[in-house]
Structure 1
């Protein structure tokens, strides 16, 4: 019996929120500093637009991406467990091996789908941390919002559905796991939906409190957003991530403004020392 929609959707939404919470703040890397620049902020929007139109107009793109994911996702997941994720330890990188085996052996089962989805999520954590290391925060935040806008445009204009179906249907030989998209129960989510979540977590990783707030906001907004599935069959799952970013940024700016306003008020209303008299008196007067 297939897992019903609600628990299937809840599982993937929890994974997306975990991708926000998982990235850690890494030390500055010399090679990353040399490569650092605002142009990297185009990667998020470029990743979705290039992939969608490549699948539409270039034959076998979906198959190529399937095999690329089959090789890259487990390796990137190992890097996340060993270095890029919070709580990572070098020896934990070996955890990617049993996850891959479970995803392979149980490729038609719920457990296998869960293992494959976790591998994909972990790989996105590594990509998010690496991209955050070479992109100024402001430009990466703009990139997240731009990716969500492009995703929405592709869904509304009906340009995403066909390429997405082609990509989801592509399968490697030998019953190897499909790691190019996430399927859990009766719900599927694109790789980019986890990637953008990991980008949000990585750009906020220096402030764990804001990062966790963003993760919880992503989960809550996505749960409300998915109520639209009652009337539509496909939604841009990048949108809740962008909305969570906007809410976190707005909250931070409001707190800064309130703090500055409060400090200014204290300076204006605080006790004042008596002013020194400047009056002149005739000599000998009291």
Structure 2
């Protein structure tokens, strides 16, 4: 695979008359290969190509060149985004699983949370389509303490991430166009989806104890939490679950059959206690 990527990088470099090189990037539960293209003194763009195995090397190279020619290439000046002020203003916490991500987490700034890890992502674009993860070396270079980072990230989560809680009936009504009154007649079990307005990295909503408390008080019940993916979590009132092991099997089934490796968060089931406002791993 690396040899193929090197050949593609060479073709792209020749076609664009630019410096192109192979990069390997550790992602959540996965290592990805890509072609990095230099533009200017302080800017680079990375194109991941490991999902283009059915295309020829020439076709992949042409696709990269086509995107660049349309000025769609996500290039950013590092001098403008890799500074303390920008980082603290745009950083948010994101959730990843601890198990199986030891290599991925090795050089990243991270904080323990139950059997998960909080990593810190700096959002370059408002729609979250462009971002980068904070590494230990950058944190040291920018003279940002771990405490300052954690506090600012939590502040941004509350003030900027626009976390929302929606019932499954609301979501089905929006997706199908069926009036919510008709969806409610289906007598679906109470279930709520919690994510942000961009529906990206929304599993960080598990850190919004204020919203978990609000929903649990409204329902008059504690909540079970299970991780749909790194993009969202699902909340179920406690009295609608008779066996937490059954719920864990549902999570496992979803992770195996419907969630990609990069989006998988955890196989665990969590419990929010509305009195103590604590979250714990249940199964």
Q: Decide which structure has the larger Cα Rg and report it.
A: 1
**Higher strand content, 1 or 2:** 2
Work out which structure has the larger RCO, using CA pairs closer than 8 Å and 6 or more positions apart in sequence: 1
TM-score (norm 2): 0.23
**Higher helix content, 1 or 2:** 1
